[in-house]
Amino acid sequence: MTTVEVRHHAMRIGGRDVDTSERHPILDPNDGSVAATVSIGGIEHVDAAVAAAKETFESGVWSAIPPQERALVMRRIAAAARAVADELIELELSANGATIRQATGFHIGYALAHFEYFADLAESYEWQRAAPISTFPALSQSVVHREPIGVVGAIAPFNFPLLLALWKVGPALAAGNSVVVKPDERTPLSMLEFARIAERAGLPPGVLNVVTGTGQVAGAHLAGHPDIGKIAFTGSTQVGREIMRLASGTVKQVTLELGGKGPTIVLDDADLDMAVDGVLFGCFVYSGQVCVSGTRALVPARLHDQFVERLVARAKTIVLGDTRDFDTDMGPVIGANQQARILEYVRDAESSGATIELGGHQPEGERFERGFWVSPTILSGVRDDMPIAREEVFGPVLVVIAYDDDDEAVAIANDSEYGLAASIWSTDNARALAIAARIQSGNVWINDAHQINCQVPFGGYKQSGLGRELGPNALDGYTEVKTVQLDLSAGRTAKPFGILLGHAD
């Protein structure tokens, strides 16, 4: 019997590989096998990484060079990563269960393109802005400067390990900061490799550090570390609240991209064939493990039965299988605990009166006895007060909710603690735009889903987050604002001081 060697990955701190005696197995969700092992970092490793980042920042080797030079290095990094994209794709899908199509296009393709966008911002960003000359209370000229914060902490989730890490690393580096990344302990492989690629391409050692470890230990310590000036986090709303609490101890800047329960509103004038495909795409991409997944389909009551029938028929054509097969449409979920959690939501909904129209179980067949699989699941008869309609399931589960008119559709869509993304399907652009204006969500797509454009801001309303990532102002959250004022009064006493000294004239 052939033994497959399992590669071990150390942390990257201060330009060196740092290992520990404690190792964590990375499981391939496709079949449950051990794909790799990684070091488990603790508090001392976070401290070492922050210290390395702080020393590098203060040295000026990255923070003090012109933004144009940072842009050049970042472009070299992107080119070097693109040259080994196949390796990054394999690292990604072996840890998080993405299909090879998804890993190629979304997980790695988007990540490198977006990193290049941040490099472009380093050149175009308004680092200094002169204010109008002031004549009161004294003749003066003010200049507003944007400067790097210092050391930035980035905590990335399991679902898009490299992409969502680079949404933080990219603007942080472009602004001149040093960074400490804490990936999800289940999916750190692509970020670890990216850090090594970055150093080989010219990023000074210590500017980008990666500490692998648990969220409860390494993540929590990073969020509260006194030498971290900014923490950026993507993950659940529950953990996001804890990140805010930990960050408040040193009043550091915080960006949070949190959960969602995306509504997909199908209007009665929609092209039903297009809407069916759009609803399924919006929900089942990456097995529903996307914060912007459209997991609530709001359908006109008079079209409900017909639409559900179409959804089920089309969803039956979704191909489950080996994640490395280009014919596979949908892969597994991240792990056994998540698989059990998803199926428990479905059982609870069924016991509360919902009807399982499709799925609701582990797929049948020997192929699916290994790994962490959940069939595409569609539920009808779902009430808006059911947990499955209100809580983020994070799996391939679509609930269909009937509504009577546009006002009710908007009310149901907004009746959520979340407000990250929504979709509207209609052949009447004016009507769809009018409804979009009423939706409490940071992102609203009309006749589309999952369209993440790096040139526009991304983020959520309500408990879906705080701040925005991407867009032309992406560097704002990774800079401090300093106003420098130069007195132009040529030595004349300024009026406020004259008043203070009793000789205002």
Task: Return the structure tokens found at 489.
Answer: 């009064």
List beta partners, residue 419. Answer: 461
Burial tier of 341 (Cβ tally within 10 Å: 0-12, 13-18, 19+): middle
291 as an active site residue: the answer is yes
Note whether residue 489 is domain-resident: no
Note whether residue 505 is domain-resident: no
* Cα–Cα nearest to 447, from 275, 228, 298: 275
| C-beta separation of 161 from 95 below 8 A | yes
DSSP-assigned letter for residue 65: S
Q: What are the strands, taking DSSP E only, across 162-226?
A: 178-182, 208-210
In a shared domain, residues 31 and 88: yes
Q: Determine the residue type at 260.
A: G
Catalytic residue among 185, 193, 257, 357: 257
Return phi, psi of residue 249, to 5°. -60, -30
Note whether residue 278 is domain-resident: yes
In a shared domain, residues 335 and 402: yes
In a shared domain, residues 198 and 342: no
In a shared domain, residues 50 and 185: yes
Catalytic residue among 283, 291, 357, 392: 291
Residue indicated by tokens 């059982």: 347
The pTM of the full predicted model, rounded to 2 decimals, is 0.95
Note whether residue 60 is domain-resident: yes
Q: What is the DSSP string of 220-240?
A: HHHHH-TT--EEEEES-HHHH
Note whether residue 498 is domain-resident: no
CA distance 388 to 405: 23
In a shared domain, residues 241 and 331: no
In a shared domain, residues 233 and 306: no
Tens-of-pLDDT digits for all 505 residues of the chain?
A: 445 679 999 999 999 999 999 999 999 999 999 999 999 999 999 999 999 999 999 999 999 999 999 999 999 999 999 999 999 999 999 999 999 999 999 999 999 999 999 999 999 999 999 999 999 888 999 999 999 999 999 999 999 999 999 999 999 999 999 999 999 999 999 999 999 999 999 999 999 999 999 999 999 999 999 999 999 999 999 999 999 999 999 999 999 999 999 999 999 999 999 999 999 999 999 999 999 999 999 999 999 999 999 999 999 999 999 999 999 999 999 999 999 999 999 999 999 999 999 999 999 999 999 999 999 999 999 999 999 999 999 999 999 999 999 999 999 999 999 999 999 999 999 999 999 999 999 999 999 999 999 999 999 999 999 999 999 999 999 999 999 999 998 766 545 555 555 554 4
In a shared domain, residues 134 and 230: yes
In a shared domain, residues 227 and 305: no
Output the domain CATH number for residue 170: 3.40.605.10
In a shared domain, residues 126 and 29: yes
Four-point Cα dihedral 137, 142, 147, 149, nearest 10? 10
In a shared domain, residues 146 and 78: yes
Note whether residue 504 is domain-resident: no
In the chain, how many domains are there? 2
Q: What is the DSSP string of 31-57?
A: T--EEEEEE---HHHHHHHHHHHHHHH
Note whether residue 369 is domain-resident: yes
Range of the domain at 51: 12-258+464-483
Q: Which helix (H) or strand (E) holds 143?
A: strand 140-148
In a shared domain, residues 93 and 241: yes
In a shared domain, residues 240 and 317: no
Residue 75, CA distances (Å) to 112, 127, 170, 205, 454 in order: 9, 20, 11, 17, 16
257 as an active site residue: the answer is yes
